[in-house]
């Protein structure tokens, strides 16, 4: 999974997390690749999850859009059945 082989000498120079710990010192753990904070911390610009709870989206079956679409199809079907029922009365 790692595109770069871990090299202890190089890992020592990895960028460090600057989050303030409960002791008031800075965290100093290596940052997540491409981010400003370590795996335990967030809050810095560009760290943490993507905005808008986007990771919670699975298939969209219950998205407002999908629900509205099903509602429309059901209404159309109901209208068709009503029409057929009315035609049967003649
Ligand atoms: Zn940290």
Instruction: Say how many domains are in the chain.
Output: 2
Ligand 1 center to residue 20 CA distance, Å?
A: 8
Q: What is the pLDDT, as a whole number, of residue 90? A: 61
In a domain, 67, yes or no: yes
Q: Which domain holds residue 86?
A: 60-90
pLDDT in tens, the chain (90 residues): 666 677 888 888 899 999 999 999 999 999 999 899 999 998 888 887 888 888 899 999 999 999 999 999 999 999 999 999 999 876
- Judge whether 36 and 47 are in contact, CB under 8 Å: yes
The verdict on 41 and 17 lying in the same domain is yes
In this structure, the answer to whether residues 45 and 66 fall within a common structural domain is no
40 alpha carbon – ligand 1 mean position (Å): 5
What pLDDT does residue 45 have? 84
CA of 16 relative to ligand 1 center, distance in Å: 8
Q: Do 12 and 40 fall into the same domain?
A: yes
14 alpha carbon – ligand 1 mean position (Å): 13
């Amino acid at each position: 999974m790692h595109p770069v082989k871990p090299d202890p000498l190089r890992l020592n120079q990895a960028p460090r997390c600057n989050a303030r710990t409960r002791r008031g010192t800075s965290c100093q753990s290596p940052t997540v690749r491409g981010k400003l904070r370590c795996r335990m911390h967030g809050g810095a610009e560009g760290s943490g999850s993507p905005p808008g709870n986007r990771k919670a989206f699975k298939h969209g079956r219950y998205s407002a859009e999908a629900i509205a679409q099903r509602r429309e199809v059901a209404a159309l079907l109901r209208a068709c059945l009503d029409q057929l029922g009315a035609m049967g009365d003649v």
